[in-house]
Structure 1
Amino acid sequence: MSYTTENNKRIAKNTFFLYFRTLFTMAVSLYTSRVVLENLGVDDFGIYNVVGGIVMFLSFLNTSMASATQRFLNIELGKNDKVGIKRIFSNAIIIHFFIAIMVILLAESIGVWFLNNHMNIMPDRIEAANYVLQFSIATMVTTIISVPYNATIIANEKMSAFAYISIVEVTLKLILVLLLAYSPIDKLITYAILMFFVSLTVRLIYGAYCKKHFEECRKIKFKPDLKIIKQMMSFSMWTVIGALSSIGHGQGISIVMNFFFGVVVNAAYGIANQVNQVVSNFVNNFMTALNPQIVKTYSANQIQEMHTLIARGCRLGFFLVLFFVVPITIETPALLKFWLKEVPDYTTDFVRLVLLITLFNSFSSPLSAAQGATGNIRNYQIILTTLGLLHIPLAWCCFAKGLNPNYAMYVYLIIVILEQSFRIVFVSRSISMDVLPFVRDLLFRCGTVCCLSFVIPIILHLYLSEGIIMSLSVCVIGALSVLLFVFIIGIDKNERQGLIKTIKVKINKTGKIN
């Protein structure tokens, strides 16, 4: 069996496990979100989202080091250096303990001061908001400590572990959220406590799994290797800048919206991000399975194979997002009304705009993985971060001029398009990939599939009578339209033949079993 065939089978197997997880977690998470909003109400739901955002904003060091840990583990695995893997993991644990301490110090000083002096929260809810902040800090610390363990699972491509542990996580959340209605104390405080309990439980499960299955996770040496720490910190120094941009868009904009519009708009933004998270998980699952292979092919000097993986990853990532974007954007009002009992103002617009941004941003993951594999990320991160950080001041200017919250999303959509254009050109030069054929193929296939996929469902939306059955019918037709045009136009001849062959094999196996 060739390396490429074995590689593709491994990616497909890992993607299957991740999609199994996502389908289950998606259904449970959407229902859980509805129960939480119903129990907390719009205002408290908005408070939880914006206060949790303060802690996330202070955790940018963790975001950058997570990327560095993943990259260095993949490089050592590509070399099959077991001693190197142990050294990387042990030093990653040390680094993340220090990051956890820094987050606690920042959150307990700057975070507490900011919450009590500058947040637009009703005076009678400020005490509850402080409890939320404390338990959000505890939740973030458990997440930070888990990063090296999660990175080890991904680097070793044991995606079934994510599937099973995620099922446990969302099941716990569902059970505890259902108990929220019977809380004898403030429901917002209870919810923050329950989310910390879930986070701690999942952290212990990941730790136990890794210690059982991976030698590097046993008998951790808490003796710093200054050379490795310097290398990892040097790499992460530039990804810190990129992390600031990403967190600025997510949590920073939420805080800016709170200044101008209050917690109701925070609730709407939180709901839009939950919908977007469900959609993003589908493409992230594929990228989680694909990206380690991109790094390993570079480490093994298999550059042509790397180019193929990047091109395929960009296209399929776009199509995976489009599969949801077409039906959801057309039927957003009906779907939100069916999902939630109370839909906050601006939620419909936010959902549509956030999904559109995610669609344009769907190319970024394989390109970023490729650039990270080269280690040459300084200029890459500086330019991307400079563009990304423009989001907050430009949105602030729009709000100061009296424009509505939607303009934060309009501004970011333009920024994302500029970022993607730069990313493609920069990465292509770094890995000696011919940029013109790559862009031509990407734009033609993705653009054509996107335009054609909207035609039939929009016509049905305009001419069918209103109602949830009709809306669901449009959603199904929209999703099927994407699949049809992806098969006809979106994938190349070899991919199409491989897909047909796989389907025939599955049908034959089913027939033999019957």
Structure 2
Amino acid sequence: MSDSKRIAKNTFFLYIRMIINMLISLYTSRVILNTLGVTDYGIYNLVGGVVVLFSFLNNAMTNATQRFLNYEIPSKIKERINRVFCMSINIHFVISIIVVILSETVGLWFLNYKLNIPDDRMYAANIVYQMSILTTLINIMRIPYNAMIITNEKMSFYAFLGIFETCMKLIIVFLLLFFKKYDLLILYGILLMLVNLLINIIYFVYCSKNFHEQTQLRYVKDKKLFKELISFSGWNLFGQVAVLSSTQGINMILNIFIGVTINAAMGIANQVNAAIYNFISNMQVAFTPQIVQSYAGGRHQQHKNLVLNSSKYSLYLFLILAIPFLIQTEFILHLWLGKNLPPYVISFTQVIILNSIVSAMVGSFWMSVNAIGNIRNYQIVISCILILSLPASYIILKNGLPPTYVLIANLCLNIITFLYRFWYINQKLVFKRSEILTYLKGIVFVLIYIIVLIYLFKNNSENNYFNIFFQIGVAELILIAIAIFTGVSKEEFLMIKGFVNNKLMKNFKGNK
């Protein structure tokens, strides 16, 4: 099977997963918010974030595991693949111990003495905190198995297991409705931990059955491989600390200055953004093995094409999905969650989505950086830029400015990192001038259009259903037209046209 067909097949399975997951997640978020209430919903998002803050070591190792397995899979030498897998398991086990130590000391102190949580909910917050630690440990040990499935491109299993996990979380929502006499926040934390444990068991069984020789656990002593994994993940560590500072760190600073209601607003905004962005991240998951393996195999022109096209089409897809949420944010949130929205949730949602527009474009760039492997200077610069979000957030809130300015400052820093990433990748891959101009033409016009669109709808208060859907429809059609005329090459357009014509002809002959 060709690379393009394999990517298309993988993307298809992942999109099925994301469509179902998005619909269920949006429904469950509404029920969870209404069931737990704004305060408990905010506490859950905040407390879970404390544990995530200490899992930065795991996030760094995730990229390393994915990268080294992608390098070894094409060789089909099972012993070498198994060495990478076993070494990753050993390192993830050590990471689990470190996370427990940090969470039960620094994290526990921070939770009880620094965060702004109502006194009558501190007991529940502590129980949920312990459940969040267990959930994090389970997810840490899942990473090597997850990486093995993705590098082997078993996307159908990956997609269907994701749907199963989401359905289990839907069942949790219904269980909460039947056990209202219990503390629902504590019950929610326990049930989510059990779902994650079940998913971990399924991952283990599947990998043991389908990749037995590659995933067979054994003692591995390979100093060279260990040093390579630790060195690669060590520099990735800088980036993960910076990313967490611009997400969970900001969340905690907002809590200290304002309280848990602001964390509820952040939780809702992130939930909306995740429902959209997961489509893009799953498309990028489908591209990742090909991006890494094309560079490892010396197919550098194919690698460059994958990097630029993945960035460009990620942007288009994200904007198609995001336009309704950008121009009709208030209407959609009221339709989804009802009238009682936490303060700032509308502006938070809009700015976080704008931030994700940048993230959609850079996804393929960091995949390429991981494939190249020389990441020290890259991670140092990126980390130094992103970590500025913490002092910037503190200064903004200390001076009494609205909390939305915190997210706007983070957006500005993310734009700066995008420019640096593009410059860095160009230094390594040396794009042709025509390739750069084609890429810029493909993204600049659609970005200008989005800026104009936001300006036109900034004071929009339309509540007529027909007008709202008409506005969204027109905005989408204009975006698609701009993307086709400025971002799709003649060859790509003819390929898409031929594909559509073939499908139409087959349907016509079938009907005839």
Q: TM-score, normalised by structure 2?
A: 0.95
- In 1, the alpha carbon distance for the partners of 2:95 and 2:460 equals 56
Asked whether the equivalents of residues 457 and 477 of structure 1 are also in contact (C-alpha less than 8 Å), the reply is no
Question: What's 1:383 paired with?
Answer: 381
Asked whether the equivalents of residues 328 and 475 of structure 1 are also in contact (C-alpha less than 8 Å), the reply is no
The letter of the residue matching 2:326 is: T
Question: What's 1:131 paired with?
Answer: 127
What CA deviation, in whole Å up to 9, does each residue of 1:76-102 have, x standing for no partner? 123333221111011111111111111
1:31 to 14, 27, 35: 27
Shift of 1:142: 0.6
Seen in structure 2, the aligned counterparts of structure 1 residues 398 and 375 have a Cα distance that, compared at 3 Å, is: same
Asked whether the equivalents of residues 330 and 458 of structure 1 are also in contact (C-alpha less than 8 Å), the reply is no
Structure 1 runs not aligned, ≥5 long = none
- In 2, the alpha carbon distance for the partners of 1:483 and 1:27 equals 24
Seen in structure 2, the aligned counterparts of structure 1 residues 468 and 267 have a Cα distance that, compared at 3 Å, is: farther
- In 2, the alpha carbon distance for the partners of 1:457 and 1:507 equals 37
- In 1, the alpha carbon distance for the partners of 2:90 and 2:462 equals 60
Is residue 61 of structure 1 aligned with residue 41 of structure 2? no
Asked whether the equivalents of residues 116 and 255 of structure 2 are also in contact (C-alpha less than 8 Å), the reply is yes
- In 1, the alpha carbon distance for the partners of 2:313 and 2:255 equals 36
Shift of 1:217: 4.6
- In 1, the alpha carbon distance for the partners of 2:293 and 2:114 equals 46
4+ runs deviating over 6 angstroms: 453-464
Question: What's 2:176 paired with?
Answer: 180
- In 2, the alpha carbon distance for the partners of 1:501 and 1:201 equals 45
Is residue 298 of structure 1 aligned with residue 302 of structure 2? no
Shift of 1:399: 0.5
The letter of the residue matching 2:146 is: N
**1:145-294 to 2 correspondences below 5 Å:** 145-183=141-179, 184-294=181-291
What CA deviation, in whole Å up to 9, does each residue of 1:146-200 have, x standing for no partner? 0001111111111111210011111110111112122231111111111111111
Asked whether the equivalents of residues 96 and 140 of structure 2 are also in contact (C-alpha less than 8 Å), the reply is yes
**1:32-47 to 2 correspondences below 5 Å:** 32-47=28-43
Out of 455-464 and 58-67, give the one that drifted further. 455-464
Is residue 483 of structure 1 aligned with residue 480 of structure 2? yes
Shift of 1:34: 0.2
Shift of 1:218: 4.2
Asked whether the equivalents of residues 56 and 244 of structure 2 are also in contact (C-alpha less than 8 Å), the reply is yes
Shift of 1:463: 9.0
- In 1, the alpha carbon distance for the partners of 2:122 and 2:450 equals 47
Task: Give secondary structure in 1 for the equivalent of 2:422.
Answer: helix
Question: What's 1:418 paired with?
Answer: 416
The letter of the residue matching 2:332 is: L
Asked whether the equivalents of residues 81 and 214 of structure 2 are also in contact (C-alpha less than 8 Å), the reply is no
Question: What's 1:317 paired with?
Answer: 314
Asked whether the equivalents of residues 457 and 478 of structure 1 are also in contact (C-alpha less than 8 Å), the reply is no
What CA deviation, in whole Å up to 9, does each residue of 1:266-291 have, x standing for no partner? 00011111111111111111110112
- What is the root-mean-square deviation in Å for CA atoms of aligned residues? 1.9
Shift of 1:250: 1.3
Asked whether the equivalents of residues 355 and 411 of structure 2 are also in contact (C-alpha less than 8 Å), the reply is yes
What CA deviation, in whole Å up to 9, does each residue of 1:448-484 have, x standing for no partner? 1344467789879989952344323433333333223
2:351 to 343, 353, 370: 353
The letter of the residue matching 1:505 is: N
- In 2, the alpha carbon distance for the partners of 1:460 and 1:330 equals 6
Shift of 1:30: 0.2
2:105 to 93, 102, 109: 109
- In 2, the alpha carbon distance for the partners of 1:488 and 1:253 equals 39
- In 2, the alpha carbon distance for the partners of 1:107 and 1:36 equals 26
Question: What's 1:393 paired with?
Answer: 391
Give the number of aligned pairs: 509
Q: Identical aligned pairs, as a percentage?
A: 37
Is residue 430 of structure 1 aligned with residue 419 of structure 2? no
- In 1, the alpha carbon distance for the partners of 2:398 and 2:350 equals 24
Out of 364-373 and 133-142, give the one that drifted further. 364-373
Question: What's 2:92 paired with?
Answer: 96
1:331 to 328, 331, 334: 328
- In 1, the alpha carbon distance for the partners of 2:454 and 2:506 equals 35
The letter of the residue matching 1:29 is: S
Asked whether the equivalents of residues 79 and 300 of structure 1 are also in contact (C-alpha less than 8 Å), the reply is no
Out of 126-135 and 452-461, give the one that drifted further. 452-461
What CA deviation, in whole Å up to 9, does each residue of 1:46-69 have, x standing for no partner? 000011000000000000000000
Task: Give secondary structure in 2 for the equivalent of 1:470.
Answer: helix
2:468 to 467, 471, 475: 471
Shift of 1:369: 1.1
- In 2, the alpha carbon distance for the partners of 1:367 and 1:145 equals 27
